[in-house]
């Protein structure tokens, strides 16, 4: 029996007390505490209930609890489909459409990112231990043939690491900072802001348009942090052909990158050779030039990443820093992300110097 002195009064929702659990009053209501269709609730009551059912975005979270809402999840899909399937004839016509749309949105939030419509999200990237910068990203509706239009957890992890890794990178003198397979542009935009640098973000033609749009969305924050970003098309199958949206063409024979960024870029065995070959074309032959990579420990892809390490080593690169971060994606799954910093090995630097003893270190 509940104590009148030690237990708080039950909370109220729409004038009703929350349901009692086995041992005590729970702080989380169930769908039975929400307005029911047979009661013919008002539009405001339904909107309030649907607001309570909104799922908090789990993306980038380090919590073990994942996404959550203010109501116990048991029976929520049925509650939502009941609303969607009701004619709601007692409500004004304008309110009916709005309620259906809200209920449909709540339902798709529980069906994974592929079921959701386009969205615009803001992700905070640390500039230091005390300050962060908000990066705004638009993501069109996701389909199987445009996975590059989604922000992936590996991009979030790499963006979070940029400030921490800065001391070991040639940011000030790098003639070019280049992101490969930029997707929605989180990493490149974060680099431009974090390092107050000029960054070129590249991807395939069908992805580059949204990438350019996200650069525009972040014009203000780029200006605030003295960074610039531009987008371009770079197909790894033709790694020498990098054409910027402005129409300019970058030539790796004339300008190479002091820093290359790439996150979650391997989806097939072919991607390993395509990526590493592109890195070989664009990475400056200097002793401090760096490649920052991040990828998830995805089941079934283990061999691909073993091959990636082997291929990067064959170029003459070595890992100078690496680690593992745990985060969450839009499917509420825990994702373990491996990150690495690669630089030319001392042996490679020496061999290049011996081949061209009259060239400076910058030209190894």
CATH code for the domain of 232: 3.40.50.150
Q: Are residues 159 and 262 in the same domain?
A: yes
Q: Are residues 131 and 165 in the same domain?
A: yes
Q: Which tens digits make up the pLDDT trace of 251-266?
A: 999 999 999 999 999 8
Comparison of pLDDT for 347 and 22, the residue scoring more: 347
The answer to the question of residue 3 being in a domain is: no
Q: Are residues 89 and 133 in the same domain?
A: no
The answer to the question of residue 322 being in a domain is: yes
The pLDDT, as a whole number, for residue 73 is: 76
Distances (CA, A) of 251 to 48, 240, 276: 57, 7, 18
Supply φ then ψ for residue 113, to 5 degrees. Answer: -60, -35
Domain that holds residue 210: 119-363
Radius of gyration of the chain (CA): 25
Distances (CA, A) of 161 to 89, 185, 195, 208, 261: 53, 15, 12, 24, 12
The answer to the question of residue 1 being in a domain is: no
Q: Are residues 167 and 25 in the same domain?
A: no
The answer to the question of residue 4 being in a domain is: no
Whether the pLDDT of residue 87 is over 60: the answer is: yes
Tokens 């609730």 belong to 41
241 Cβ neighbours under 8 A, 6+ residues apart: 234, 235, 249
Q: Are residues 28 and 126 in the same domain?
A: no
Q: Are residues 304 and 328 in the same domain?
A: yes
What H or E segment, with its residue span, contains residue 319?
Answer: strand 317-328
Three-state DSSP class for 193?
helix
Round to whole Å and give the CA distance between 70 and 161.
32
**Which residue, 111, 128, 143, sits at the end of a domain?**
111
The pLDDT, as a whole number, for residue 191 is: 97
The answer to the question of residue 5 being in a domain is: no
**Which residue, 111, 129, 144, sits at the end of a domain?**
111
Q: By mean pLDDT, which of 144-148, 199-203, 274-278, 338-342 is the weakest?
A: 144-148
Q: Are residues 74 and 161 in the same domain?
A: no
Look at the chain and count its residues: 364
**Which residue, 111, 135, 164, sits at the end of a domain?**
111
Q: Are residues 223 and 248 in the same domain?
A: yes
The answer to the question of residue 180 being in a domain is: yes
What H or E segment, with its residue span, contains residue 35?
Answer: none
Q: Which tens digits make up the pLDDT trace of 89-144?
A: 999 999 999 999 888 877 777 765 555 567 888 999 999 888 999 999 999 876 54
Round to whole Å and give the CA distance between 56 and 25.
24
Q: Are residues 197 and 341 in the same domain?
A: yes
The pLDDT, as a whole number, for residue 156 is: 94
The answer to the question of residue 306 being in a domain is: yes
Q: Are residues 263 and 285 in the same domain?
A: yes
DSSP category for residue 257:
B
360 Cβ neighbours under 8 A, 6+ residues apart: none
**Are β-strands 198-203 and 228-234 bridged in parallel, bridged antiparallel, or unpaired?**
parallel
pTM given for the model? 0.73
How many CB atoms lie under 10 A from the CB of residue 65? 10
Q: Could you tell me how far CA 6 lies from the centroid of its own chain?
A: 45
> What is the domain count for the chain?
2
Whether the pLDDT of residue 6 is over 80: the answer is: no
Q: Which tens digits make up the pLDDT trace of 8-34?
A: 333 444 444 444 433 334 466 888 889
Segment 226-234 shows an average pLDDT of 97
Q: Are residues 208 and 315 in the same domain?
A: yes
Comparison of pLDDT for 359 and 330, the residue scoring more: 330
Average pLDDT, the chain: 84
Q: Are residues 134 and 244 in the same domain?
A: yes
Residues 177/200, Cβ–Cβ less than 8 Å: yes
**The pair of three-digit structure tokens given for residue 205, joined into one six-digit string:** 């033609």
**The pair of three-digit structure tokens given for residue 184, joined into one six-digit string:** 């929605």
Whether the pLDDT of residue 153 is over 50: the answer is: yes
The answer to the question of residue 6 being in a domain is: no
């Amino acid at each position: 029996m509940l104590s009148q002195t030690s237990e708080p009064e039950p909370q109220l929702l729409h004038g009703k007390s929350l349901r009692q659990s086995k041992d005590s009053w729970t702080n989380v209501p169930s769908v039975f505490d929400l307005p029911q269709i047979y009661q013919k609730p008002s539009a405001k009551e339904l909107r309030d209930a649907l607001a309570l059912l909104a799922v908090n975005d789990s993306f980038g979270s380090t919590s073990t609890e994942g996404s959550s809402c203010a109501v116990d999840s048991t029976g929520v899909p049925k509650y939502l489909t009941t609303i969607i399937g009701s004619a709601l004839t007692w409500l004004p016509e304008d309110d009916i459409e709005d309620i259906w749309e809200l209920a449909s949105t709540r339902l798709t939030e529980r069906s994974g990112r592929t079921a959701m419509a386009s969205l615009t999200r803001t992700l905070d990237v640390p500039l230091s231990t005390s300050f962060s910068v908000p990066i705004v990203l638009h993501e069109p509706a996701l389909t199987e043939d445009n996975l590059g239009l989604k922000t992936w957890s590996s991009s979030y992890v790499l963006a979070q690491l940029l400030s921490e890794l800065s001391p070991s990178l040639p940011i000030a003198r790098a003639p070019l900072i280049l992101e490969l397979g930029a997707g929605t542009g989180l990493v490149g935009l974060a680099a431009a802001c974090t390092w107050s640098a000029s960054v070129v973000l590249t991807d395939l033609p069908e992805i580059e348009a949204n990438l350019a749009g996200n650069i525009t969305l972040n014009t203000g924050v780029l200006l605030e942090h003295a960074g610039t970003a531009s987008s371009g098309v770079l197909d790894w199958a033709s790694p020498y052909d990098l054409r910027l949206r402005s129409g300019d063409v970058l030539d790796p024979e004339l300008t190479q990158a002091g820093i290359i960024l790439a996150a979650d870029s391997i989806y097939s065995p072919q991607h390993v050779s395509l990526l590493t070959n592109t890195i070989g074309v664009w990475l400056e032959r200097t002793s401090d030039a760096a490649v920052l990579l991040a990828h998830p420990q995805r089941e079934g892809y283990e061999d691909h990443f073993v091959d990636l390490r082997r291929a990067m080593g064959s170029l003459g690169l070595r890992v100078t820093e690496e680690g593992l971060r745990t985060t969450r994606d839009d499917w509420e799954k825990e994702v373990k992300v491996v990150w690495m910093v690669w630089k030319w090995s001392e042996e490679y630097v020496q061999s290049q110097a011996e081949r061209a003893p009259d060239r400076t270190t910058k030209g190894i």
